[in-house]
Chain A
Amino acid sequence: MARTRPLRLLVVGTSWPPQTFLGRLMRGLAASGIDVSLAFSQEPDQEWFFQSGLRAFRTWSWEGSRILRLVRLAWLSLRAFLRSPRDFWRFLRQSRAEPTLTAKLRTLNRLVPFAGVRYDVLYFPWNSVAIDYLPLFDCGMPVLVSCRGSQVNVAPHHPGRGVRKGLPATFARAARIHCISQAIEREAERFGLDRSKARVIHPGIDPGFFSPSDSRDTSPMLRIITVGSLVWVKGTTYALQSLRLLLDRGIPARLTLVGDGPERQRILYTIEDLGIREHVEIAGRLPPLDVRDRLQQSDVFILPSLSEGFCNAAIEAMGCGVPVVMTDCGGVLEGLTHGVEGFVVPLRDPEAMADAVATLARDPGLRVRMGRAGQARIARDFTLDRHVRDFVTLLEEVRACRVA
C-alpha cells in the first residue's frame, strides 16, 4: 500500500546550523521514520546530516562573483527546464514580476533548484520564508507553513511595512498552517487564516536534557537568568531596571544575560547608567549545553518580552526546575499558570517584575515548589516526544491533502 511508504518531507528555509529547536524536531521526525530533506544553500556538513539521519537538498544563494553567479544560474535553469518545463515556466513568470533585474535573477536563482522536485509534503518552518517561495505552492505538493510569532505579532504594525503582501496568500494556499500557540492562531486569523486549516502544536523540549542538576551550588545571592536575543522585542532593559529595583530594596542579586544581538550597545549603556555593572554578566550566545548548565545554576528565570509567540526559553527553564517570571504577552499563559510554575506580570512594568522576583527571593521553599511544578508541567504538556508525535500526525494529514 502506498501509505506504508515513508513520508518524504522537504524542509525549506532553515539557516545553518539549524536553530536548536528545529534541529531537535527534524531529528525527532527522522527517528519516527519520516524521510526528511533539508534545503541548504551552504555546502552541507555531511557529518551532521549523517548523524541526524537527515538528507541535504542543495540550493544556491545569490553570491560569488557576477560571472560565476550568471553561469551557475544558466546551468541551473537549463537543468530545471529539462526536468520540468512547466515548473520552470512558472518560476520564470514569478521572477519576471520582480521590479529590478537583480531581483528577477535573484528570485529565479532561488526557485530553479526546485523544478520537477516532488515530495509528499513541503514544509516552511518560517512564514516569512514561505512568502518568498509562493510558486512552489502550485507545484502539486501539499504545503505546511509554521506561524511562530513576529510575522503576525509585530511586523504588521510597522507603518513602513504593514502586512507583508504574501502573508494572506500563504494562508490561502497552504494545505495546513501550524501555529505555535492559540494566541498566534488568533492573531493570524486577523490576516485571513482559515481556522479549519490551523493546527496548534506547542513547542516541546527533551526533559532528559533540560532537567535539574544533581549538584546545585548554593549561593547567598539570588541568581537571575534571562535567555533571548538582544532585540527590542525581548524588553531586556526592563530586566535591568527590575534588577536595579531589587538591589535598591536590599536584595542581593545577580543577573546573567544569555544571548546577543543588535541591542548590545543599548544594554551596555543601560547597565552603566543604572550603575549595576558588578551585578550583570553578559554571557553572549551560548550552545545548548552551556545554556542548560547556566539554567541549572540559576534561582529565577525572567523574560520581560513585549511580544512572544510562545515562551520557548521559559519552558527550557521550567524543565531545569527553575521558577519563571514572564510578561503577559502572546501565548505565555498557555505554557505557564500564574502562581503555579512562576509569575506572569504586566507588560512594560519593571516594578511588577521586581515584586515577583522579590517574592521568590524571600522564599526559597516557594522557589523549590514552583520549580517542581514547572518540571511536572513540562513532563505533562511540553515534551519533545509529544511535539514530534503531533507533528507526525499533522504531516500525515497534510500528505492526505494532496490533490489527486
Chain B
Amino acid sequence: MPGRLALVVPKFPRASETFIVSKFMGLLERGWDVHVVCDGSERSAWDHFPNLRQVPDIRRRVHRTWPHLPHWKAALMAPAALLECLFAAPGASASYLARGGKRFGADVLRRLYLDAALVALNPNLIHFEFGTLGAERMHLSQLLDAPIVVSFRGFDLNYVGLDEPGYYDAVWRDASALHFLGEDLWQRAQRRGCPPAKPHFLIPPAIDTDFFERKEPRAVDRGGSLRILSVGRLEWKKGYEDALVAVQLLGARGIPCEYRIVGDGSFLGAVAFARHQLGLEDVVTFLGETDRSVVREEMLRADVFLHAAVSEGFCNAVLEAQSMGLPVVCTDADGLGENVESGVTGFVVSRRSPAALADALARLASDPDRRRRMGEAGRRRVASRFRLEDQISAFDALYRSVLEKGSKAETHRDAGEVRELGEGGGRQ
C-alpha cells in the first residue's frame, strides 16, 4: 500500500516546526516514499536535526519549488522547470497540461511553473501541512489526479482570509480529507463553511517524550519566589501582554515571582514596552530564541508553565512542559482546552483575562504539593496520549484510508460508466 507522499511546507526543516521532521522520519520508517516540497531550506536550520542529515537519500527527498520572484528570474528558469517536469514525469505533465489547458487556458503554463516541483514528483498523495498552502492549489487534485489532504493548525483557520468570504471554499470542495489538531479547530472550520460531512481526522500533535522527561530529581522547594516560564514566539496571538498583567497582579497580591520568556518575534517591542510600563523590569527576563536543550533546562528549573494565548492551534510547548512534569496555567484558546486537563494537569481559564490567570497562578504558588501532583499527572497524560508513535500511526492510517477510498472511487466511477452504457444499450 505505501506509496509516494508529498508533504508541502513553507520551509524545511525549521527549528520551530520539529513536528514536520518527526513525521517525515516516522513515515519513512514505515515504508512510505516520503518527499518534502518547500519554498526554501536554510543551512543553519539543518544543524538542529542531526538525525535528518543521516537519512541516506535525504537530498533526493527534499524538493525546493522554483523561485517565483523576481519575475525575470522566474521567466529565466521556466524552460528548465518545464524540461524537468517532462523528463521526470511525462505522463503527469501531459495530463496537467491537457486538463489545465481546458480549465485555465494559457495561464496553465504559469501554473505549471509554480507547481513544477510537485508535477515532477508525481506523488500518489499530496499533503498541504497548513491550510494557507492549500487554499490556492486545490486544482492539483484534478490536474494531477492525486488525492489531497490539508492540515489546519490554528492561524490558518483563525485569522487568515477572514475578510475574503469563501477563502477556503476550494479546500472544502476538493480536498479528499482534512486534518485538524483538535475538535475546536474542526468546529471553527465548520463555522467557516466546511460541510459537516467532510471526511476529517483529528490528530493531535505529538512530542518526543523521551527527550522531554524529568530524569533529574525535582529541586527541593526553597520557599522562594514562584518561577514562571513561557515558551513561544513573541507574537500577538500568544497573549504575552495578558501574561505580564497577570504577573503584575500576582506581585500586587504579595506573591513573589520571576517570569522567564523563551522566544523571539515581531511583537518584542510591544511585550518589552508592557514590561516597562507595568514596572516588571526586575521580574521578567527575555531569553530570546533558543534550541530545545535550553528549553528543557528552563523547564527543569521552573515551577509553573504559563501560556496566555488568544489564538493557538494546540501548542507543542505546553505538551513539552507537561511531559517535563510542569503544571500548566493556560487559556482556553482553540486546542489548549484539549491539551491540558483543567484541574488535573493544570488550570485552563478564559482567554483575555489576566485576573483569571493570576488566580490560577496564585493557587499553584501557595501549594507546592499540588504543583507536584499536577506535574506528575501531566507527564502521565502526555506519555499516554501524545506519543510520537501514535501520531505516526494515525497519519499512516489517514493516508491508507484516503488512498483506498481514492481507488474505490475510481472503480465506482468505472462501474457507473458501465451501467450507463448498459442502460443505453437496453433502450436501443
Contact = CB atoms under 8 A, between A and B. Distances in A.
A307 B162 contact: no
A172 interface: no
Majority secondary structure, B binding face: helix
A272 B310 CA distance: 12
A232 interface: yes
A263 B274 CA distance: 17
Nearest to B235: A266
B236 A266 contact: yes
Interface in A230-288: 232-233, 241, 263, 265-266, 268-270, 272-273
A394 interface: no
Interface size class of B (residues with CB under 8 A): 20 to 34
Contacts of A263: 236
Contacts of A157: 269, 272-273, 275-276
Given A154-B273, A159-B268, A159-B286, A272 B162 contact: yes
Contact of A268 (B159, B277, B310, B351): B159
B267 A268 contact: no
A160 B268 contact: yes
Interface string B257-279: 00000000001111011111100
Given A232-B267, A241-B352, A348-B241, A270 B310 contact: yes
A248 to B, nearest CB: 13
A154 B270 CA distance: 9
Contact of A269 (B162, B241, B275): B162
A348 B354 CA distance: 10
Contacts of B273: 154, 157-158, 233, 306-307
Contacts of B286: 159
Contacts of A7: none
Contacts of A376: none
Nearest to A349: B245
Nearest to B245: A348
Interface size class of A (residues with CB under 8 A): 20 to 34
A347 B267 contact: no
B18 interface: no
A187 to B, nearest CB: 12
B277 A347 contact: yes
B162 A158 contact: no
B163 interface: yes
A233 B274 CA distance: 10
B159 A269 contact: yes
Contacts of A233: 270, 273
Interface in B282-302: 286
Contact of B163 (A159, A241, A266, A268): A268
Contact of B158 (A269, A307, A347): A269
A241 B352 CA distance: 9
A347 B244 CA distance: 13
B311 interface: yes
B236 A273 contact: no
Interface string A290-329: 0000000000000000110000000000000000000000
Interface in A348-400: 348
Nearest to A272: B162
Contact of B162 (A154, A268, A306): A268
A163 to B, nearest CB: 13
Given A159-B268, A269-B159, A306 B277 contact: yes
B192 to A, nearest CB: 9
Nearest to B159: A269
B250 to A, nearest CB: 15
B311 A273 contact: yes
Contacts of A272: 158-159, 162
Nearest to B281: A157
B312 to A, nearest CB: 12
A154 B159 CA distance: 27
A233 B267 CA distance: 11
Interface in A59-83: none
Interface string B212-242: 0000000000000000000000001100010
Contacts of A266: 159, 236-237
B268 A158 contact: yes
Nearest to B354: A348
Interface centre among A160, A268, A273, A306, by most chain B C-beta atoms within 10 angstroms, is: A273
Contacts of A273: 158, 310-311, 351
B311 A269 contact: yes
Contacts of A265: 159-160, 162
A232 B277 contact: no
Nearest to A348: B245
Nearest to A307: B273
B121 to A, nearest CB: 32
A263 B268 CA distance: 14
B269 A154 contact: yes
Interface centre among B270, B276, B286, by most chain A C-beta atoms within 10 angstroms, is: B270
A331 to B, nearest CB: 16
Interface in B155-176: 158-160, 162-163
A121 to B, nearest CB: 33
Interface string A132-165: 0000000000000000000000110111110000
B311 A232 contact: no
Interface centre among A157, A160, A241, A270, by most chain B C-beta atoms within 10 angstroms, is: A157
A161 B270 CA distance: 13
A232 B245 contact: no
B107 to A, nearest CB: 29
Nearest to B160: A265
B97 to A, nearest CB: 36
B243 to A, nearest CB: 12
Nearest to B267: A232
A154 to B, nearest CB: 6
Given A157-B272, A158-B272, A269-B310, 5 more contacts: A157-B276, A232-B236, A268-B162, A269-B162, A272-B162
26 contacts: A154-B269, A154-B273, A155-B269, A157-B269, A157-B272, A157-B276, A158-B269, A158-B272, A159-B268, A159-B272, A159-B286, A160-B268, A232-B267, A241-B352, A263-B236, A265-B159, A265-B160, A265-B162, A266-B159, A269-B162, A269-B237, A269-B310, A269-B311, A273-B158, A348-B241, A348-B245
